[in-house]
Amino acid sequence: MSLIVDKSDLPVLKPFRLRGAAYDEMYFARWLASIPLIWVVAIAIALPGLALAQSGSVNPNAYEALWRWMPFLLTNGFLFNVVISLLAMSIGTALGVLLGLAQISRSKIIRRVAWFLTQLFRNSPWLVLLFIVLLAVPFQIELFGQTIRIPAWMKAVLGLSLPVMANISEIVRGAVLSVPSGQWEASESLGFTRRQTLYEIVLPQCVKRMIPPWMNWYAILTMATPLCSLLGVEEIITLSRQAMSAENNPPELLVPFYGFALVCFFLYCYPIARFTIWLERRVSVKL
């Protein structure tokens, strides 16, 4: 018995499939860690040439000025950027964990509110959030007859913690949902409550999965701290402008001073990115 297959020369419209690159929450760490160190050395060597090309003349006083201001820019400027990033990451992580757990709540209202807040702050420009916090939060509050001033750097910490909160929320939600459903079913069969299952079984397994993307977002947050200069916070970019003003603003100071800021951020974030990629490979599930 032969199988007869009907053939046709008519064109057939195949189903349309949109193929694109999947979202990678570790993209920034992968990109930063992929930069060869030889490139960094080459850029550092080329910076003096860029400064000379910009000024049009050889002026060693530009690097002498940078050398004089370097301790001040490092201790009073860049270290303050690090402090802002650590405080914003701490606040954002604490709020993000709560918001992420709210996204998997059994209450439909809580899930919807948590999802809305996550998407709102996750898809909002960081600079816009900083200006909103700057204008919305008062400069001082009265508490028990005492006047408490709220400096600009505290507002910057709060403003930067909002997008971090939203992204940490997604990390927590994704990590919890990545745990096999058999873990929940086994805990229920053993008489565990949902709260006990979440805090004693599921979340301990999620910690190592959340650390690499958490570190990735910390590196991104650190890179975003120069935005605080637009709020008047005296971090490395603001202090660099003040230092150049004290030197009468010669154009040949731009590349050395801003190049020094670039090197500071790179030397701080590059080891974090390398360690993040190594940690991701270490904690990945081996099949």
Span 236-280, pLDDT tens digits: 999 999 988 888 878 878 888 888 888 888 888 888 888 888 877
* pLDDT band per the 50, 70, 90 thresholds, residue 134: confident
N residues, the chain: 287
Amino acid at 128: V
pLDDT average, residue stretch 42-52 = 58
Question: How many CB atoms are closer than 10 A to CB 64?
Answer: 12
Q: Is 12 helix (H, G, I), strand (E, B) or coil?
A: coil
Burial 214-234, CB ≥16 within 10 A → b, else e: bbbbbbbbbbbbbbbbebebb
In this prediction, residue 277 carries a pLDDT of 80
Q: Model pTM? A: 0.79
CB 220 within 8 Å of CB 25:
no
Instruction: Supply angle C-alpha 253, 33, 275, rounded to 5.
Output: 115
Q: What percent of the chain has a predicted confidence (pLDDT) above 70? A: 78
Q: Which of 90-94, 112-116, 258-262 has the lowest mean pLDDT?
A: 258-262
Rounded CA separation 23/138 (Å): 38
Instruction: Name the 3-class secondary structure at 148.
Output: strand
State the Cα–Cα distance between residues 192 and 180, nearest whole angstrom. Answer: 16
Assign 7 a pLDDT band (cuts: 50, 70, 90): low
* Domains of the chain, CATH where assigned: 64-283 (1.10.3720.10)
Higher pLDDT pick, 52 / 282: 282
pLDDT in tens, 12-45: 444 444 444 444 566 666 666 666 667 666 666 6
pLDDT of residue 53: 52
DSSP helix/strand/coil, 143? strand
